[in-house]
Structure 1
Amino acid sequence: MKNKILFSCGLLLGCHSLATYAAQQESSGFLEDSTLSVLNRTVYDYRNYRHGNTNSAARNKYKLKSQRNDYAEEWGYGLMTKFESGFTQGTLGVGMDAFGFFGLKLDSGGGRAGKSRLLAVKNDGHVRSSYERFGAAGKLRFSSTVIKYGIQQLKTPIFSTSDSRLLPESATGWLVTSQEIRPLMLQLGHFTAAADRNASSSTNDLVVNYANPAMKKGKNFDFVGGNYALTDQFNLMSYVGRYQNNWYTYYIGSGYRLPLNETQSIKFDFNLYHSKDYGKAYAGKISNTTWSFMTSYVVSYHQFSIGYQRVNSDTPFDYVSRGAIWLNNAAQLSDFNAPHERSWQLGYQLDLAIWDLNGALFNIAYIKGDHIDGTRMSKQSAYYWLGYGKNGQHWERDISLQYKVPEGFAKDLKISLRYDVHRANKTQAELNTDQIRVAVEYPLVW
């Protein structure tokens, strides 16, 4: 991995001599190109656990199973302020990004807080009345290459901070992004700490999603990769990452849109991850290949989708950071990533502009997974604690309605309604849950 990173650094710097576009030459200044944004968001999340399943989070984890609540309920308000500077003029531009996040509990309690990580929870399981997080990152730009260090949010298929709850996740480290040869975009990252979506501290261990929490953590995550847009309709992505003393992950993905006429098109989306243990292998032996493929037919205001996903491994597919799973069947309540799992998805989307409701979308998806077999997993594996058995199967149904105000005083005000259902047998090892989520957000940008 070290040789790959050194090669990538040379490639990023060497591309300058071939540059077709130099963003730094167009810099207007540190303040002149800066933006200040404020996002107000409120989220209500209710989960009802079915068929004997219970809430094991917050205060409930200190209770006997028979005394635990069979539901979780959280409601909060989030305020997110971000400042993104431009770059100083000259050959080498200097800039800075900073943020301040504030979360406020509107309603919940130690017995009702769940695992959605919406609100902050104290060590004793009680919900905090409020929480906050601050961070900043310095950045340099030479030509069309940006080097950024500090606390930041980023989005790649192999390491990605999530913004799917009240406040966003963040990570601390280096990120190099180069667009010297458009349409090729190259990235190089080194991250050492993280803050989950309901955390105040930015110095926590990196977030790992499925391994036993008692597992020894890796100290850093490195990655290199990029995206190449061959045309406006076709792009390719490839990344490789290393979670220190745990595993390597290799990713390839592509997306293609085939226009048929002015109102019809076919879309294809493919994602593949391969993970392999290395070094001290704190998580145990891993040899995991997980892939998904989805095709969608778009006609006028309608989109019909069908997808397939497959896990080839004795362990589940795991990833570092909350958003680093770009598999098509990774849904609201399950990632459909269990050992040897295969899953199908049927989806439908309706653009309500068909009835003059511009900015409104309706979505429904049904996903079914089976063939789960965790009995071949070593007892020393960091995933043995999940309790996968043989012949595990489950299904999920997700229904959502979203409206974003397209114009006027309330432009960009967004309202989202979700109703999700997950059902599983005991050997699938996940909970039977009904979820209702309501989110409202309103941005202000200067």
Structure 2
Amino acid sequence: MTRRQKRFGAGRTLLAVLTALGALAGAALVGAAPAGAAEDATRIAPGVVYRELDIQAARGPTHAHVLSVDLRDPRVRLDLLYPGAVAARATVSQLADARGAVAGVNGDFFNITEVQHPGVRATGASVGPVIARGTALKAAVPNGQRFGPALPPGTSTQDVVGVGVDRRARLDSLALDGAVTTPAVRLPLGGLNQYALPVGSVGAFTSAWGSASRVRATCGTDTDRAAPCSTDTYEVTVRDGRVVSAADTPGSGPIAEGTTVLVGREAGAQQLRKFSTGEPVQVRHRLVAQKSWVPYRFALGGYPVLRDGLPLAGLDDRTSAVRTAVGIGDGGRRVLLLAVDGAPEYRTGLTIAEVADTMRQLGSVDAFSLDGGGSSTLVARTPGAGGVSVRNHPTDGVERPVPNGIGVFSAG
């Protein structure tokens, strides 16, 4: 038996503990082993267990890699992985090793290409809201500007999965609340460090954005990502509370601490043209949770597929693909991180409906879909190793750089 056959065969041992949960409606877990065989699961660190399992999906067998994280253990926590800027990318293994994480998975969908806008470069920024270490880094782009599969009915780009300061994981929605205020006018803020701004709005870019061009923020419309870039734009730079410069075209390059660049399109651009050098400007922004009063330590975007133990209505049950997902159980105290293997024999993957059923079968009450395909990556550190290793087979043959991910940290 080859090393790979041994590794995949061992994954089937997890299924014994799942037998009592019943058969899946769409995807069926296969290869059940005798009771007690789940001891073959690998303990990555205190409160963190890694397993593999086979799934008999509608389009054939697939293989999944699962991290079980027990947040009841005070030594373990989850946090955002990102390369230090919203508009930047790195591989999950690079992000995990840079932060000292013992494991992790890729995160949100992102602005990966710009073939519809010649001369405009993709920013690499993610779609949904992002909170890192309790600080809001970005807000959500309009639904029509999203990259990734169609959203299930009733969901939006504002949906997030996160962990609060109470150490409980939950699903939520984060809306931007902000304003730009001068002695003469008060404008609603339409975006924060986003690769796409709503038509007619003003968006704020801070040092968290990075150095990527801000032109992409004025391309497309709220309903059509491929629509042409706006020809009516304006940019104002505010430093230490006063206007210091302006330009007709959004710029690029790093933004210094204490500086905010305001980008306007259409009606927003017309308002910014009224600002004058030296004029005092106050920019205020925050992300407001729609469900929880507990502040988030971290949060990132994607979309929900399971709520209160029930799959969302209208989930796609036809398109199979390699997927990454997050499951939540035990009142937010247990988190499952799942990545489907991208090896050729398993690449048909799961439908979104099968993802919801799989996460429910694994014990999740709520579940959330993250970016998939070539982005799907699960890494974990072998006990005693100096860094993480990739446990699944990325569909591209190598890790794809991504804007963010979920990191697992352990003090043990």
TM-score (norm 2): 0.26
TM-score calculated relative to the size of structure 1: 0.24
Of Structure 1 and Structure 2, which has the larger fraction of its residues in strand?
A: 1
Structure with bigger helix share is 2
Higher relative contact order (CA 8 A, sep 6+): 2
